[in-house]
Amino acid sequence: MVILIAEKSDITRTGIRYILHELDKNQIVKELENPEKFRRTIEKEKPFLVFASADFLNDSFFLSIKNSKEKPIFVGINVDTIALSVFNFLSETIGFTSTKADILRILQRFSVAQTKEIFGKNDNELTTREIDVVREIAKGLTNKEIADKLFLSTHTIVTHRKNITRKLGIKTASGLTVYAIINNLIEIN
Amino acid sequence: MLITRNLKMADVIHMDYTLLPTINRFGISLGYGEKTVEEICQKHGVNVDFFLEVINSFHDKNYFPEKKFRAFSLKYIIDYLKNAHKSYLEYKVPKIERLIDKLVEVSDLKKQTFLLLKNFFQEYVNELKIHIKREEEEVYPYIINLEKSFLDKKIPKKLQEKLQVYSIGKYEKEHDNIEEKLFDLKNILIKYVPMQKNNNLCNNILSELFKLEEDIKEHSEMEERVMIPQVKAMEKALKTGKFDVEEI
Ligand SMILES: [Fe+2]
Ligand SMILES: [Fe+2]
């Protein structure tokens, strides 16, 4: 998984590369100084993420890659004055005040996006079975008790709980209780 | 960019004003004049190296130099941790409580829901209090004692007996994630509370929750990645009588 840094300034290029390697020393990073070779480099290296400054970004470039199948994600470098039409092609931007944390966030954002694509569609809605389990957790039952009540194994309940936590972003039993009440899954007494 | 000792303290705040509460924890408050970080620390009797590492680890979320931290006396670290506890209980938590109270007060339709949130947060606060109490009454005093013996290179009989039945490993095992409930509360607010007109209030609560969670995370890292390993090394030294602990 290659990351390409397209930027005329040595200092900026080196800085970004340095941070990328600090975040992940195994990350393959290619650099490009000459805007004329931009398209060819992308075709050759097939980066999944490209950091590029305004010198590299213009309408005709984006037009030329419009129909290519594997388009990388573009992050603009110091693109404050760039045309809006070009700006719209960028997924993120960084500037002189950006920190390591910003770059980390960008990396996390897009590596997550990629894994999502592999798993396909949004499966964040609770299934009926999972709703049953939430209801019982909210009533204060233990995994074992829920298993007995629903005629399932404790192991299955544990799996359900993991999925529920992943989907809802709620880890604790009392958090799930609040969720259950808000969504009218159980009555308050 | 890392903060260094020669920067003016005022410039540090211009660079990152979110550091203020952390700086306050060292007993340093506003009115810095033209003084540098180092000068201000000296004036307040604060170890400037320790100050810089703490401030930088808050300033840059990816910066956490455990090795460097472990070079400081545990007394500094524990003082700092205690001040953090204090700011949670006396400032940050009450602030959130007030905001939630307000939310319950102004809402008519969803009062039930907000009361639920209030209870949930109260449960959390109780857990936090128990957690902190144990650390301050049991764990920290043990560590202070231990460090003293370590530096004196002798073990009083009492400590010797204690070491036979207790070790920091016990605390480590039971040191739970006190930010879990905060995480839940955030998600409930973001995803599941039907909002009508209390946007500002809810935004405020959320941003306070985010800040508290982040702060506590940093705090627990200090306990787990700095304090505990250092204590373990001292326990080992005191048990074996080998005090030249270069590599911790
Ligand atoms: Fe603590
Ligand atoms: Fe703790």
Q: Which domains does chain A have, with CATH numbers?
A: 2-109 (3.40.50.2300), 128-182 (1.10.10.10)
- Give, in degrees to the nearest 5, the angle at Cα A40 between A34 and A44: 120
Could you tell me if A81 and A38 are in contact, meaning their C-beta atoms sit under 8 angstroms apart? Answer: no
User: pLDDT band for position B248 (50/70/90)?
Assistant: very low
The predicted model gives B174-202 an average pLDDT of: 81
Tell me the average pLDDT of chain B.
87
The pLDDT assigned to A4 comes to 95
- Give contacts of A181 with chain B, Cβ < 8 Å: 112-113, 116
**What does the pLDDT look like over A122-176, one tens digit per residue?**
567 888 899 999 999 999 999 999 999 999 999 999 999 999 998 898 999 999 9
CA neighbor of B193 nearest in space, from B121, B245, B126 = B121
pLDDT for A184:
85
Q: What's the angle, vertex CA B79, arms to CA B74 and CA B83, rounded to 5?
A: 145
**pLDDT cut 70: percent of chain A above it:** 93
Burial B119-154 (b: 16+ CB within 10 A, else e): ebbeebbeebeebbeebeeebbebbeebbebbeeee
pTM of the model: 0.65
Span of A24-33, A106-115, B100-109, B175-184 with lowest mean pLDDT: A106-115
Nearest to A181 among B116, B183, B194 (CB): B116
Radius of gyration of chain B (CA): 21
- pLDDT value for A175: 92
A chain contacts of residue B100, beta-carbon cutoff 8 Å: none
Alpha helices in chain B (DSSP H): 9-15, 20-24, 37-43, 48-59, 66-69, 74-87, 93-106, 111-134, 140-152, 157-165, 168-174, 180-187, 199-221, 228-240
Find out whether A79 and A54 touch, Cβ atoms under 8 Å: yes
Residue A175 to residues A40, B180, B198: CA-CA distances in angstroms?
Answer: 52, 10, 22
Nearest CA in chain A to B124: A174
Per-residue model confidence (pLDDT) at position A114 = 47
Using the mean position of ligand 1's atoms as its centre, give its distance from the Cα of residue B81 in Å: 6
Q: How far is the CA of A4 from the centre of ligand 2 (A)?
A: 42
Of B53-57, B107-111, B156-160, which has the strongest mean pLDDT?
A: B53-57
Share of chain B above pLDDT 90, in %: 44
Residue B222 identity (one-letter amino acid): M
How far, in Å, is the centroid of ligand 1 from the Cα of A152? 40
Q: Are the beta carbons of B192 and A171 separated by less than 8 Å? A: no
**Residue B200 has what pLDDT?**
83
Residue type, B48: V
pLDDT along chain A (189 residues), means of 10: 92 92 85 90 89 91 78 89 83 86 83 45 76 93 93 92 90 91 80
- What pLDDT does A136 receive? 94
Q: Return the pLDDT at A115.
A: 42
Collapsing DSSP to helix, strand or coil, B69 comes out as helix
The pLDDT value recorded for residue B11 is 94
Residue A23 token pair: 């975040």
CA B184 to chain centre: 20
Classified as helix, coil or strand, B189 is helix
* B197-214 confidence digits (pLDDT tens): 677 888 899 999 998 998
Q: ∠ CA A83-A87-A88 to the nearest 5 degrees?
A: 125
B14 contact A CB<8A: no
Distance CA A176, CA A165 (A): 9
Residue B244 is predicted with a pLDDT of 66
SS (H, E, C) chain A: CEEEEECCCHHHHHHHHHHHHHHCCCCEEEEECCHHHHHHHHHHHCCCEEEEEHHHCCHHHHHHCCCCCCCCEEEEECCCCCCHHHHCCCCEEECCCCCHHHHHHHHHHHHHHHHHHHHCCCCCCCCHHHHHHHHHHHCCCCHHHHHHHHCCCHHHHHHHHHHHHHHHCCCCHHHHHHHHHHCCCCCCC
Asked whether the beta carbons of B180 and B131 are under 8 A apart, the reply is no
Position B174 pLDDT exceeds 60: yes
Alpha carbon of B177 to those of B121, B139, B163, B210, B218: distances in Å?
A: 15, 17, 26, 15, 12
| Residue B34 DSSP code | T
Residue B17: the pLDDT is: 93
| pLDDT band, residue B245 (cuts 50/70/90) | low
Phi, psi of B73 (to 5 degrees): -60, 140
Cross-chain Cβ contact B116/A178 below 8 Å: yes
What is the structure's pLDDT at B195?
A: 65
Q: Where are the domains of chain B?
A: 9-63, 73-240
User: Is the Cα dihedral A59, A60, A63, A65 positive or negative?
Assistant: negative
Q: How far is the CA of A54 from the centre of ligand 1 (A)?
A: 47
Give yes or no for residue B166 having a pLDDT over 90: no
- Name the most confidently modeled range: A104-108, A184-188, B126-130, B153-157: B126-130
